[in-house]
Amino acid sequence: MKIFYTYKAAKQLENLSRAAQKRIVDKMRFYSEQKNPLKFAERLINYHEGEYRFRVGNYRIIFDIEKNAIYVLKIAKRDAIYK
C-alpha cells in the first residue's frame, strides 16, 4: 500500500522532533506493508477530517484509505488532535 501525506500532515510531521518523525515514518511504513493495516487502526466515531486513526506513542495519525493507498490527513499529539 502506498502512503500519501497531505500538505497539512507533512508540515505537522516536519515540525516534530527528529526522533518523533523517525518513529512515525517507520510505523507508517510498517502499517503500509501489512496485508490489512486497518487491524491496527481504530475507526473514529465523530470524524471530521478522517475516518481512522493510528496511535504512535503520544501521537495520533488521522487518515483515510482509498483503493490501495493510505492518505494521512493530520498528525498531532493526542491532547490536540481532536480539537
Confirm whether 83 is domain-assigned: no
Asked if residue 57 is part of any domain, the answer here is yes
- pLDDT tens per residue across all 83 residues of the chain: 899 999 999 999 999 999 999 999 999 999 999 999 999 999 988 777 888 999 999 999 999 999 889 999 999 998 887 66
Which DSSP string corresponds to 29-64?
Answer: HHHHHSS-GGGG-EE-SS-SS-SEEEEETTEEEEEE
- Domain with 45 in it: 2-77
Is residue 56 in some structural domain? yes
| Domain-embedded: residue 82 | no
pTM: 0.88
Residue 47 belongs to some domain of the structure: yes
Contact (Cβ atoms closer than 8 angstroms) between residue 59 and residue 77:
yes
The structural domain count of the chain equals 1
Q: At 53, which CATH number?
A: 3.30.2310.20
What is d(CA 19, CA 1) in angstroms, rounded to the nearest whole number? 24
